[in-house]
Structure 1
């Protein structure tokens, strides 16, 4: 069990950690789950995690690692275990912590700020739960209405649905046939263009061949010159 919290240690909620690390709140919970899965311990308020500065540093290390997350989390858990084993519980006696917190105004402000943050987080959670309950109730009422409408008109709805499905199938078939025809026409056009290019290449090659043959003939013979015009 963790016992390394200091008298003036600042505690952070999940939302505050998310804001400080510039990541989403669900991501903070995900990192916490990965760390706990590998043996890391958090302070808990019921099922809710409470973060201290060393926890935030561990989350940063997990966020910025290039290694597999579980490997990094295992190393962080081992480091925490070593730190806890070397920490003296006598330095954190409950009575001393309580007395020093009440006697030091700065520590008292930090403690009150922590309580305020926790209350704000609890209020926010309560508002969210209330909204979720109201939304759930609205959804249930809507589902009941839909069920009644479906039950009363199931026969007519089925017939309409089948007609819509058949219409959609016919439309898709028509679209497919149109696309197929376009592709065939496009393919035929490309084939014609390719054949035309081949013919032009052959003509160019023949012209080059005739020119080479004419150039290789003796200069005193005029037949090669006349042959150019004949061809």
Structure 2
């Protein structure tokens, strides 16, 4: 456990360290994780890191290294380990720091500032999360409404299409039946015309036959009364 904190030494929040070293708070947390992964120790209040000056120097070393960051983290950890072994054996833990801070107004002020900054950052994060959740709920609600509208639209379109198809089929059926009826009427009319023409033709033929018959009878009758040669020639001409 660390015991290298000095009397009246200032404590820093993650946000304050980020501002001092010119990094994002997420980057400071990432570098802290790299250091811890390689054996470096931080003062902590639960899961929250509390930084002192030596910790800021460790973050700067990770920031400025040109080597792999894990290699630099191991070097920083070794320096911290050597410093702790060479230091005095006074055990200073975080609760002791809090107890000393109660006796030192400046240290108490610094710790309260750290807590206030972390609380402000937490509140800001909570506010952002609430806003994100609210936007997400709004988006989900809009998606549900859009889904309902699309489903209703598809259903209505399908129903309208089915109805229109039924109407079209009914119209085509009626039109076909109407055309069929018209063709039937035309056929009947043509048949009637043909029958009438045949009857008229038969009548003509019958009249012509009657006429020819009467003419032959008259010619025959006249041939008896007049010279035979004259009426035979006339009959021959008529038959021709």
Asked whether the two chains share a fold, i.e. TM above 0.5, the reply is: yes
1:110 to 107, 110, 135: 107
Alignment gaps of 5+ in structure 2: 155-240
> 2:90 is paired with a residue of what secondary structure?
helix
Shift of 1:50: 0.8
Residue aligning to 1:57: 57
Residue aligning to 2:215: none
Residue aligning to 1:129: 126
Q: Spell out the pairing of 1:73-112 with structure 2 (5 A cutoff).
A: 73-90=73-90, 92=92, 101=101, 107-112=104-109
CA distance in 2, matches of 1:147, 1:99: 56
* Larger-gyration structure (1/2): 2
TM-score scaled by structure 1? 0.58
TM-score scaled by structure 2? 0.56
Residue aligning to 2:206: none
Shift of 1:6: 1.7
Q: Structure 1 pair 146/6, CA: closer, same or farther in 2 (3 Å)?
A: same
Q: Structure 1 pair 73/93, CA: closer, same or farther in 2 (3 Å)?
A: closer
Q: Structure 1 pair 17/3, CA: closer, same or farther in 2 (3 Å)?
A: same
Shift of 1:139: 1.4
Shift of 1:11: 0.5
Residue aligning to 2:158: none
Question: Is 1:66 the equivalent of 2:66?
Answer: yes
CA distance in 1, matches of 2:41, 2:120: 26
Alignment gaps of 5+ in structure 1: 158-231
Aligned residues: 154
Residue aligning to 2:20: 20
Question: Is 1:139 the equivalent of 2:136?
Answer: yes
CA distance in 1, matches of 2:137, 2:82: 52
Assess if the C-alpha contact under 8 Å between 1:40 and 1:77 holds in 2.
yes
CA distance in 2, matches of 1:130, 1:145: 22
